[in-house]
Structure 1
Amino acid sequence: MSFLTRLSLKNRALIALISVVAVIFGVIGAGALKQELFPSLDNPQATVTATYEGATPQAVESEVTDPLEAALSPLPEVEDMTSVSSAGSATITVSTKYGENSDDIVRSLQRAVSQVQPQLPDGVEPNVLTLSTDDIPVLALSVTSDADEDKLAAELNDIVEPELSKVDGVSQVQIAGAKTKQVEIRIREDDLEDEGASIDEIAGVLQANGVPTSAGDLEGGDGTAPVEVGSRIRSVDAIKDLVVSGTDGPVKLSDVADVAIADAPVESISRTNGKPSLSLSVMKESDANTVDVSHAVSAKLPELAKTLGDNTEFVSAFDQAPFIEQSIDDLLKEGMLGLVFAVLVILVFLLSVRATIITAISIPLSLLIALIGLWMGGETLNMLTLGALTISVGRVVDDSIVVIEAIRRRHAAGGDKFANILAAVAEVAGAITASTLTTVAVFLPLAFVTGQTGEMFRPFALTATIALLSSLFVALTIVPVLAYWFLRQREAKVRLTREEKAEIRQSRRQMLTQWRSEKRAARKAAKKQSITAAGRHDAGGDVETDEGVVPAGRAAGLGAAAGASEAAEVDELAALRSPVTRLQRTYLPVISFSTKHPVLMIVAALIILAGTGAMVPQLKTELFGDTGQEQLQVTQTFDPGTDLDEASEQSQQVEDILVADDSIESYQVSIGGSTFGFADDSGLSGTFIVNAKPGTSAQSISAELQRKFDALEGVGQVELQDQSSAPGAQTIDVTLTSSDIAVLEDTTEKVAQRLEDVPGAQSVTSDVEAVQPVIEVKVDQEKAAEENLTEAAIGQYVQRAMRGQSIGEVIIDDVTHSVLLFDREANTVEELRDLQIPGKPETPEAPTGAGSGAGAGAGTGAGAGAGAGTGAGAGTGAGAGAGAARAAEPRLIDLDDVADVEEVTTAPNIRHTNSQRSTTVSVTPEGDDLGAVSAAVQSALGEVDVPDEVSVDTGGATEEQQDAFSQLGLAMLAAILIVFVIMVATFKSLLQPLILLVSIPFAATGSIALLLLTDTAMGLTAMIGLLMLIGIVVTNAIVLIDLINHFRARGVELRPAIVGGARLRYRPILMTAAATIFALVPMALGLTGGGVFISKPLAIVVIGGLVSSTILTLILVPVLYLLLEGAKERRAEKRRVKNMARGEVLDAAEARAERETATATTGAAAGGGPAAHTDDGGDARGDEAKH
């Protein structure tokens, strides 16, 4: 990677221009990023709703819910399915996988629903809906006024809604709580009978008229003209003028019915701070900026309030913008504080303003480049992405610290500046590249984490990855250029060891002797040459000698004779001979002791590891922490049979508690209807949106409020839900399923009673509701068939009597009104039994003669016709015709002639889980120890005697936590494997990376200890911190081992290489760790309180892990390296000795063989020699004898 540095140094002006462009576009990108609370999440749930007017929960279950569930359950997209069958409606919730395309899911569900549509009762048309975080209202307002409700509602519809819809980014404005108008058509029974008109014909005429039909196009001289048959109904008079058939001819509707616009029945009541109110919900477009939309809408409200008059007031019940802005502002402040702390740490270590500024520039540059990446990638600035940027403040400076420290060390040895920078970067480029890649690589497994955890934290991982890779680029390109321009090579102040001082003194004496023997000019020349060769030191000042502190340049010159390098580029080995600094002196005794007693260090490490394992069970666990929002929700579920007026009175008791609480700033309550999309529509309930006073966390007051609510009597069930938590389940849900309803309800009651005693449970609720009276109309199919009636037709007649038959809608004065047809009214059970409905017409006898005609005429009431036609054929025909017409009218029968009308008791809602009858007991944990409460719930469930036919499953927050923790655990294992692969590629060894992997579990020591000390729970953000630590803790060790390996490759002995490498890397390791730690301190302390659920646990984990891992890197890693490499050396030495011994044996054998060969050769040669010698001797002796 050093080629980037060479390229940058050769194109310094271009690098400067690129830096300026990055700053400009980074600022532009920061301003262009949309500001959101959380990343856009597609809810992996779809809802199928169906309305079955007038049906009981049992009828809805059997006729609507069961067929729909049968059609939906086989779909591959469906993971889980729950349903609620209520009186007149069915709601089926389908859970799918995160990441699935919502449009594809809707199409698949719609196809399944359309296939089962023919099996559903007439008029039942299911709808498929999905929801994402973009569908949450940006702003929800309560509107109060001194004007009457009708006037206020009209003004909201006519003035406010159109004005707010014009705001850029607003997609929809919903008005809720206003009274609505409907067109009521009430039949006058007597007039209907007198005119001989039919109620069914009236309904048909109403449905068939008022809707124009396109009949085609007509060609004319002026071109083609479309032909439209009929006209729209736009007034009540037009309805009155509709014509139906009567006995004596056409009859206007007004002749048999009263037609008028009336108030629709009140279905909901809304109050804000005790005053009646209406509500407005403002939805934004998917690509709009939440904060901008909120500000634009809020800016229009004062003007609109003034326009409406009547003391109209808009009160914010829900607004995303202030919390988003506050969170972003707080995180920015903490990030700036962290930046300042990191810069101060660097300044303390480097003691150079120029070097500190050069290093610190990498922080804003890296973050601005990351913002450019987010902007181009279409991401938003939310609590997750901004939290990643804040966390990265301390980490992005690490690479620059290592680079600038290496450059300063090179400068201290003198030489050419360009060459020094290249050599310094080349020395550390591989190490910082590997360390950055390991830090980034740990985020790769998050791409395979499914569910809400993966969806939420992928933007976090992307942001941190871009920032860290940007920091590497800055360290290799921009920092060297800035160092070339601004980092001066000045004489350094260093302190020497005794041996080095002795060498300098010896060199000085030699130089002085030389100076005395030469001329003054020669002495000056020699001095100048030595200073020039040694260069000027940059890192620090004067040298301590026996004469005191002298300039470093003179010391270098004095030490030249002792072997100091005169080259511009200093080899790494020269660093081993560098003076020991004061900071290094604090470390040398530690590393010396550790390397001399490696076994003792290993034993101590094992003890620490065991202590870490002992601390784990003491940790509290949670899913997400408190986001710090100042809002909570209260749901009041009223007892079955409670009407709207009674519910309003009961809700006032809850309001009294809220008013008396000084920590509550405002509240809004909606009874009988949903409030801003938050309420449950499974029964009559009230929903309170409560805003705490600024600076008051909703979580801090929720437990006390719940205790006060529990003390109320006769108000139904009041449950508080903290809205300050991040997305996800907030309760532990115990789901029971069984086909035996009685056993299921009995077991549910036992479970609920047992869980009420669970420690840490704030509240326990059950969805088993008290039975309520229901009027059940059971149709006798045979009797109904005899009267030519069907069950659907009978239901329609009953509906007309009870609440009117829905005919359709008409637009009158630009306002849409529902049209309802009312027939006979029935307000009691007896009136319902006596309700008259059309039966089978009577078949008249055939007329014979005049008498018959007269009789028939008289019998049917056609007296005039009969009298006139007596004895005449014409009269007879007329009379017979009239008689036949009267006989064709259906006769009226009582409802109880074809059905049994009984009052029974039944559950108001029937619930299914995966097509089985089910109930749910929900436990709301108190505090932040979800794990402990979950364990207590499981233990309590084990004590309940559950029948075999009942199955029990635990879900909700417990299931989400287990799933998230298990997936993140697997992600950590994958991250470790990836880091190992990178380190194997870096060190080209399988064993050395194992040394670094050993550091990972010890990093958890500090993290767990600090979590316990700060009483912080282990949640998802803390788990992400542990994942980050896997990459962080090995970075310093990589830089350390890389330098030791450099020394070893150049022949340095093992222990000196370890001690020397650890000494030289001591300062950069401390600098990087301290800079990161102090940059995270503001977040760990939560100084501003913004984004604490993201930044605080993560910062605590990283700080604790860095402390323990830094100590580990400086002590245990050198020890493990010593043991590993020492063992390798001993094995190599044994092989060498063995080979030497084998070689000596072979040499000895060869020598012996040579000797033997030589001896044999000598002996062979001596066979002639000795004989000749003997002969000679003999001859000689013979000669002597002769003599």
Structure 2
Amino acid sequence: MWISDFAIRRPIITITAMLALVAFGLAALANLQVDEFPDLDQPVVMVQIAYPGASPDAVERELVEPIEEAIFALSGVERGKTTSNAVDGFAQFVITFAFTKPVAEASQDVRDAISTIRGDLPTEIEEPVITRFDWSDQPIVSLTVSSNTVDPRGLTTITDPGIVSSLRSVPGVAQASVVGASYPEMTVQLRPDAMQAAGVGIEEIARAVGTQNLAAPVGRLNGAQEERAIRLKGRIEGPDGFRQLVVAQRGGAIIRLGDVADVFAGVEESRTASSYNGVRAVGINIIKAKGYSTNEVVFKLRDEIARLQATMPQGTKLTIVKDAGIRVTGSVNHVKTTLLEGAALTILVVFLFLNSWRSTVITGLALPVSVLAGFIGVWAFGFTLNSMSLLGLSLAIGILIDDAIVVRENIVRHVGMGKDHYTAAQEGTAEIGLAVAATTFSIIAVFVPIAFVTGQSGQWLKPFALSISGAVVASLFVSFSLDPMLSAYWPDPHREEHEKSWLTKLLDRFDRWFQRMTDRYARVVAWALDHRWSMVGLALASFAGAIMLQGAYGGAGFVPLSDRAEIEVIVEAPASSNLEYTMERTEAVAAIARRHPEVLYTYVSAGTPLPMRTPGVDQSHIYMKLSPAADRKISASELGVQLRKEMQAVGGVNVSVFSGGFGGAFKELQLQLRGPDAGTLAQLGEEVLAVARTVPGAVDVSLSARGPRDELTVEVDRSLAGALGLTVGQVGQAMRVAFAGIDAGDWVDASGKTRDVRLRLAPEARQRAVDLERLPLTVFGTDGSAHVVPLGQVARIGTDRAPAQVDHLDRSRVITLEANTDGRPLSEVTAAMKEKISAITFPPGYVMTEGGWNQEQNDTFTSIFTALGIAVLLMYLILVVQFGSFLDPIAILISLPLSLIGVVIALIVTGDTLNIMSLMGVMLLMGIVAKNSILLIDFAKWAREERGVPVREALIEAGRIRLRPILMTTFALIAGMLPVSIGGTEGADFYAPIGRAVIGGVITSTFLTLLVIPTFYEIIDGLRERSLAFAGRWRTKNGERRTENGERMAESG
């Protein structure tokens, strides 16, 4: 081959090229950002709109429906993934666009669509908040500020702006949000009895406070040579100033705000709360900016937090409760460790078979050069140094050395034939070169289609696939250049028997034993060729067995369980619950967790937005940090099962436990019930819920809908209200001020910070239905005099039940049935649940479909199997070019399904399921398994074509010659995979199914390939020979007929 010939003739250039690869690889590695997982760059836009005081059905009718109509007219909106939610006073939209849509364009399109209908939306809504939703926008660090000497208000001041402003200044920090803070405000609590006595209505007071507390520039004076700005100083400075504010006059008497309200410098009514180990605290969640490495930002944050901890007042603690840097570092270090361990085990296998430390060094040098060259590919493709790109390189260890093993073994074989090292290096590489190239390109053919898979699965798999592909290409180049060059100039020294060490003699004995096994294997091949139909039956039985075993004992899921030394719990209180009740119940749940010695601490946050959920004070989140896995007697999953049972004792809430370590607060199973009528949908949802809870293996079963719940309704008597000069809009605005509260201007506190002026009824005046009836409304007589009437005089107060949350999917109402699994694979639980639900008769227009992880699993598996189909086609075309035959590659492709029986057995024995990780192992297998068959068939064809050996003898000789490189590469591959498959550290079990699937598949496929592939090749060759013979006879017969016809025509002429 010209590459190896050039490398041998120009060793300096070869060495320089290798050093360049190493140098550029190290430079690329130094410049790679470090993250735990790949970035998922699908354009997803989130829109949040506050509509204070509006009920969920009002939010749905007045906000959700018109905005959905505008959004779904945009190009690129993906169906089945665009959702809307309406809750009390709030609407949330999650709009998913196709991956081809640029994020900036998607955000602008949504902003423009909402702007075009802004005039048709209620005037009371707050300005829409449009942000890009990113799956990676999860807190990288969470902190708590707690104290036994400082009150909540003082704790808030220490936190924000004190701590928060320092953290926001750290490079790479995009957001630092506060949970459970008590921010100062000017609190104006209206007293209805005093308002009634004074004859002042609530809307008069709101108008007076809003118009008499302001400061603004109002123009300028232009002099002859100067100009001066004019500023109105109308801002009220303190509580006393607000109390003296005139709100109305009645009968010549002045009524001041202090006469009808309690005014004081208070704190906001918090809608969030947090605690650390049961002690109320202020929480801080930090999100990194796009384009920054997680570790890079976390390291800087740790330094800043350490500085801040030293400045805390006595009795006040600043505690890190979540640190993604620890997890990222642990995950990346684990993959690095498995890479090094796999390399060491692989090199040990090479030494065992080649019995030469020089051969081992020559072969082993392919690993560091190829891996470092792989980092160049990771950098060039724009990936981060994450667990998937590193995992690709780690799993490729056995593959990267394969080419070097095969090349070096063949060179050693040629040396054994009596050739000098220079000639052996040239001819040995040339002889095996095309086969090695075919095996390498077959592996690349498997992963290139995976790299072009669209959707989230494609984004996830791309770093894995392209990292392996880049490193494999580099290993091929090294095997064709560095290996033959070193083999030519650095030969093994010849040693007499007495000069050999005990280890060398031991390996010599192993080599002689292996040679005897090779001869025996040649006889086994001969036997297999004599019983070829038995071998065909064995191949079919293995394939059928794999299918039956998977169906009977295997299971399928989306992602494997992983012990990451943490458990998360979602607590959902009844829809009408307030923040205090939610926190009281949540603390009871957290206290149960802290009884277990495995739980180091708990961090509770309530009222904060959870991933893909609308925020509400009726839901909370508990984060539990566990002791390291090595220090625990039970796994996180086992502890989660115990906690789930114990937490059921806490009444009044629904508790969901997430211990799998991946997916956070997303439940594994989601079935979506759609239909037009909210009432019917809710009724069907309850029926489905009752049935789903009876399915074995389904736990944490719940509905996405929060409700139904009790509510008060106000129906204005339009004729009576109109006679008094009141409109429905005035009544609604007064009610919103009274019960939802409004910001009636600003106030500058003593520290110089601008605070809100909050106007609403006193807490004791908004607790009962009768308080609603007594709400004072201002009416004016014909003479212009003002007096008040209670709301109950112009409206009828009633009660009703309505959903606390209304969900939409693709503009249709939807209720999602959610569940986790315990003790059964996701596929089994889903099938059992769908079977039971099918017994329920749905009215026309109501359907149930899969969503969530189920839908993602189906989409991912479909994408992977489609890519594998394309990969097999590409492999076939590569082999057609390699062998110059359309039939011979079929014998090689038959080896692919032979690995499946080993995969299934390995997954069943280890308790794993067929998930995205084990499927990645199957992908890897497709290229590996073909390699052994290529080595066998390539030599058999060479023996037939170059030496004229009959097919049977050629296959037997191919088995004898190629057995050593096949077993060397197989054992090297298994050795390289062992560290990944064993795991052993936190989170490592997430990746273990890949290694287990590959090892199981390689073992069975190697055994079956060595027996079955020669048989199939002989069968195919026999069919080809018979076809050619038949075609020859047919052409001869037709030629004779044409000759006879020509003679007859000549005679007749």
1:630 is the counterpart of 2:630: no
Match of 2:980 in 1: 1083
* Aligned residue identity for 1:103: A
Instruction: Name which of 401, 405, 412 aligns with 2:405.
Output: 401
Alpha-carbon separation, structure 2, partners of 1:947 and 1:919: 15
1:897 to partner: Cα distance? 4.3
Map of 1:748-1147 to 2, 5 A cutoff? 748-812=685-749, 813-822=751-760, 828-842=768-782, 887-927=783-823, 929-1054=825-950, 1055-1088=952-985, 1090-1094=987-991, 1096-1130=992-1026, 1132=1028
Instruction: Name which of 629, 654, 658 aligns with 1:717.
Output: 654
> Residue 410 of structure 1: SS of its match in structure 2?
helix
Q: Cα–Cα, structure 1 residues 937 and 433, in superposed 2: closer, same or farther, change >3 Å? A: same
Indicate conservation of the 8 Å contact 1:192/1:198, yes or no.
Answer: no
> Residue 395 of structure 1: SS of its match in structure 2?
helix
Indicate conservation of the 8 Å contact 1:195/1:256, yes or no.
Answer: no
1:79 to partner: Cα distance? 1.6
1:109 to partner: Cα distance? 1.9
Match of 2:119 in 1: 118
Indicate conservation of the 8 Å contact 2:209/2:744, yes or no.
Answer: no
Alpha-carbon separation, structure 2, partners of 1:783 and 1:474: 92
Indicate conservation of the 8 Å contact 1:622/1:928, yes or no.
Answer: no
Alpha-carbon separation, structure 2, partners of 1:1026 and 1:10: 41
* Aligned residue identity for 1:656: A
Q: For structure 1, which segment, 646-655 or 975-984, has the greater mean C-alpha deviation from structure 2 after superposition?
A: 646-655
Alpha-carbon separation, structure 1, partners of 2:71 and 2:242: 42
Indicate conservation of the 8 Å contact 2:179/2:272, yes or no.
Answer: no
1:768 to partner: Cα distance? 4.8
Alpha-carbon separation, structure 2, partners of 1:22 and 1:332: 20
Alpha-carbon separation, structure 1, partners of 2:707 and 2:665: 29
Alpha-carbon separation, structure 2, partners of 1:703 and 1:580: 51
> Residue 1070 of structure 1: SS of its match in structure 2?
helix
1:664 is the counterpart of 2:599: yes
Q: Cα–Cα, structure 1 residues 1057 and 831, in superposed 2: closer, same or farther, change >3 Å? A: closer
1:892 to partner: Cα distance? 3.5
Q: Cα–Cα, structure 1 residues 927 and 102, in superposed 2: closer, same or farther, change >3 Å? A: farther
1:250 to partner: Cα distance? 12
Structure showing greater Rg:
1
Q: For structure 1, which segment, 442-451 or 195-204, has the greater mean C-alpha deviation from structure 2 after superposition?
A: 195-204
> Residue 212 of structure 1: SS of its match in structure 2?
strand
Alpha-carbon separation, structure 2, partners of 1:198 and 1:730: 46
Match of 2:585 in 1: 650
Indicate conservation of the 8 Å contact 1:273/1:667, yes or no.
Answer: yes
Alpha-carbon separation, structure 2, partners of 1:220 and 1:1113: 101
Q: For structure 1, which segment, 362-371 or 109-118, has the greater mean C-alpha deviation from structure 2 after superposition?
A: 109-118
> Residue 130 of structure 2: SS of its match in structure 1?
strand
Give the aligned length.
1020
Match of 2:95 in 1: 94
Alpha-carbon separation, structure 1, partners of 2:835 and 2:17: 62
1:374 is the counterpart of 2:378: yes
Alpha-carbon separation, structure 1, partners of 2:1039 and 2:713: 107
1:752 to partner: Cα distance? 1.5
1:98 to partner: Cα distance? 4.6
> Residue 148 of structure 2: SS of its match in structure 1?
coil
- 1:137-168: CA deviations, max 9, x gaps? 11001222222222222122243223323333
1:724 to partner: Cα distance? 0.2
Alpha-carbon separation, structure 1, partners of 2:22 and 2:909: 40
Ranges in structure 1 where 5+ consecutive residues have no aligned partner: 494-539, 550-577, 843-886, 1149-1187
* Aligned residue identity for 1:829: A
1:136 to partner: Cα distance? 1.1
What TM-score do the two structures reach when normalised by structure 1? 0.79
Match of 1:533 in 2: none
> Residue 838 of structure 1: SS of its match in structure 2?
strand
- 1:587-637: CA deviations, max 9, x gaps? 211122223332332233233333233223131111101232122221222
Q: Cα–Cα, structure 1 residues 106 and 490, in superposed 2: closer, same or farther, change >3 Å? A: same
- 1:787-837: CA deviations, max 9, x gaps? 554433222212333353322444433433122235796654334324332
1:1002 to partner: Cα distance? 1.1
Match of 2:1050 in 1: none
- 1:918-939: CA deviations, max 9, x gaps? 3232221114611111111111
1:733 to partner: Cα distance? 1.9
1:318 to partner: Cα distance? 1.8
Match of 1:537 in 2: none
Match of 1:73 in 2: 72
Match of 1:562 in 2: none
Match of 1:105 in 2: 106
Indicate conservation of the 8 Å contact 1:620/1:1017, yes or no.
Answer: yes
Alpha-carbon separation, structure 2, partners of 1:319 and 1:675: 19
Q: Cα–Cα, structure 1 residues 300 and 453, in superposed 2: closer, same or farther, change >3 Å? A: same
Q: Cα–Cα, structure 1 residues 892 and 249, in superposed 2: closer, same or farther, change >3 Å? A: closer
Alpha-carbon separation, structure 2, partners of 1:226 and 1:356: 87
Q: For structure 1, which segment, 381-390 or 947-956, has the greater mean C-alpha deviation from structure 2 after superposition?
A: 947-956
- 1:1072-1110: CA deviations, max 9, x gaps? 11111121122222244543322x111111112222222
Match of 1:704 in 2: 642
Q: For structure 1, which segment, 329-338 or 1123-1132, has the greater mean C-alpha deviation from structure 2 after superposition?
A: 1123-1132
> Residue 442 of structure 1: SS of its match in structure 2?
helix
Q: For structure 1, which segment, 752-761 or 1134-1143, has the greater mean C-alpha deviation from structure 2 after superposition?
A: 1134-1143
* Aligned residue identity for 2:580: D
Match of 1:317 in 2: 321
Q: Cα–Cα, structure 1 residues 614 and 194, in superposed 2: closer, same or farther, change >3 Å? A: closer
Instruction: Name which of 262, 274, 277 aligns with 1:273.
Output: 277
1:676 to partner: Cα distance? 8.0
Q: For structure 1, which segment, 124-133 or 389-398, has the greater mean C-alpha deviation from structure 2 after superposition?
A: 124-133
Map of 1:170-189 to 2, 5 A cutoff? 170-185=173-188
Alpha-carbon separation, structure 2, partners of 1:56 and 1:362: 67
Map of 1:666-685 to 2, 5 A cutoff? 666-671=601-606, 673-674=607-608, 680-682=614-616, 684-685=618-619
Alpha-carbon separation, structure 2, partners of 1:962 and 1:461: 20
Q: Cα–Cα, structure 1 residues 50 and 675, in superposed 2: closer, same or farther, change >3 Å? A: closer
Alpha-carbon separation, structure 2, partners of 1:50 and 1:1138: 80
Alpha-carbon separation, structure 1, partners of 2:527 and 2:220: 100
Q: Cα–Cα, structure 1 residues 473 and 492, in superposed 2: closer, same or farther, change >3 Å? A: farther
> Residue 895 of structure 2: SS of its match in structure 1?
helix
- 1:1032-1063: CA deviations, max 9, x gaps? 21122223222222222224222232222222
Map of 1:13-92 to 2, 5 A cutoff? 13-42=12-41, 45-76=44-75, 77-80=77-80, 81-92=82-93
Q: For structure 1, which segment, 241-250 or 833-842, has the greater mean C-alpha deviation from structure 2 after superposition?
A: 241-250
Alpha-carbon separation, structure 1, partners of 2:943 and 2:337: 44
> Residue 133 of structure 1: SS of its match in structure 2?
coil
> Residue 311 of structure 2: SS of its match in structure 1?
helix
Alpha-carbon separation, structure 2, partners of 1:597 and 1:307: 83
- 1:197-245: CA deviations, max 9, x gaps? 99658637735863534859979868xx795644684833786798889
Match of 2:500 in 1: none
Q: For structure 1, which segment, 171-180 or 454-463, has the greater mean C-alpha deviation from structure 2 after superposition?
A: 171-180
1:283 is the counterpart of 2:217: no
Indicate conservation of the 8 Å contact 1:71/1:112, yes or no.
Answer: yes
1:317 to partner: Cα distance? 2.5
Alpha-carbon separation, structure 2, partners of 1:168 and 1:741: 48
Indicate conservation of the 8 Å contact 1:271/1:668, yes or no.
Answer: yes
Alpha-carbon separation, structure 1, partners of 2:275 and 2:886: 70
Indicate conservation of the 8 Å contact 1:633/1:723, yes or no.
Answer: no
> Residue 296 of structure 2: SS of its match in structure 1?
helix
Alpha-carbon separation, structure 2, partners of 1:792 and 1:303: 54
* Aligned residue identity for 2:178: I
> Residue 214 of structure 2: SS of its match in structure 1?
coil
